[in-house]
């Protein structure tokens, strides 16, 4: 119990555990992957060392990328055989990117010059978050080329010739209303004038911003569009469909380049 009292004092647990007869293993998972996290007790007499397995995070993400590629191949074959519709492909692509690829990145710190390609190891800028996750979803693009473009030029590259909707409104409320009218359920690229980029997700009628946020929490996050401080700083936005971009998704299926 002395061990648990010490953990309680250090803040690693919130309450004392119930009594058990046998303990076989303990593990500590850090919010950020480190090879070794070392914490001294308050009286400096005891050193607690916790080892975290950053390799497992890398392996998990690698497996998720493999899953995305296998999904692409299955969907392509299903489309060829006529056993799956293109609408189903749109849904499968969106779900894999939003629910499998992107969540690995939540909590990865933002930095203006950040360009890590490993979630939660290093830092990542908004443009690199978009280009890296799209690449890791299996879209054939140069993540450096895309990330270094202006928001409107990123929109042009990802549009693959499809419509780019420009929204200009003088209040966040008017902008949200306009964006809501222009979007269906699914995922979009959103460029903020000349200053920021992210994903716009419309799910169950609600609008969300998924981005590497330079405001709190200063990391990759998902937030409602109406609560986003970044969104409220801008009046001009460029929207490009991802879920509903047939040309982009066909290039994904065929491993065709997005230039």
Residue-wise pLDDT for 101-149, tens only, equals 999 999 999 999 999 999 999 999 999 999 999 999 999 999 999 999 9
Residue-wise pLDDT for 45-84, tens only, equals 333 333 346 788 899 999 999 999 999 999 999 999 999 9
Neighbours of 218 (CB within 10 A): 13
- Sign, CA dihedral 147-149-151-156, equals negative
Residue-wise pLDDT for 221-257, tens only, equals 999 999 999 999 999 999 999 999 999 999 999 999 9
- Domain boundaries, given as residue ranges, for the chain: 2-52, 64-254
Question: Residue 217, preceding bond cis, omega within 30 degrees?
Answer: yes
Asked whether the predicted pLDDT for residue 6 surpasses 80, the reply is: no
Q: How far apart are CA 70 and CA 161, in angstroms?
A: 27
* Angle, helix 126-137 to helix 54-81, in steps of 10 degrees: 50
Asked whether the predicted pLDDT for residue 157 surpasses 60, the reply is: yes
Q: Is the pTM of this model over 0.75?
A: yes
Q: What is the pLDDT of the chain when averaged over all its residues?
A: 85
Q: Could you tell me the CA-to-CA distances from 185 to 77, 179, 234 in Å, in that order? A: 25, 12, 23
């Amino acid at each position: 119990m002395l061990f648990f009292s010490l953990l309680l004092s250090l803040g690693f647990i919130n309450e004392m555990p119930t009594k058990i007869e046998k303990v076989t293993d303990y593990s500590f998972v850090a919010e950020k992957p480190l090879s070794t996290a070392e914490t001294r007790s308050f009286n400096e007499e005891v050193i607690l060392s916790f080892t975290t397995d950053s390799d497992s995070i890398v392996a998990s993400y690698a497996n998720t990328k493999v899953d995305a590629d296998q999904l692409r191949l299955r969907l392509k074959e299903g489309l060829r055989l006529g056993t799956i519709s293109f609408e189903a492909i749109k849904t499968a692509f969106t779900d894999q990117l939003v629910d499998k690829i992107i969540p690995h990145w939540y909590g990865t710190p933002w930095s203006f010059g950040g360009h890590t390609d490993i979630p939660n190891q290093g830092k990542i800028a908004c443009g690199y978050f978009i280009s890296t996750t799209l690449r890791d979803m299996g879209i054939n693009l140069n993540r450096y080329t895309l990330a270094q473009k202006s928001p409107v030029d990123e929109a042009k590259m990802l549009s693959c010739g499809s419509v780019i909707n420009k929204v200009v409104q003088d209040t966040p409320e008017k902008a949200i209303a306009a964006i809501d009218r222009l979007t269906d359920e699914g995922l979009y690229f959103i460029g903020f004038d000349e200053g920021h980029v992210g994903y716009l997700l419309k799910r169950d009628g609600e609008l969300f911003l998924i981005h590497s946020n330079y405001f709190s929490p200063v990391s990759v996050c998902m937030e409602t569009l109406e609560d986003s401080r970044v969104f409220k700083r801008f009046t001009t936005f460029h929207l490009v469909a991802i879920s509903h971009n047939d040309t982009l998704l066909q290039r994904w299926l065929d491993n065709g380049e997005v230039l």
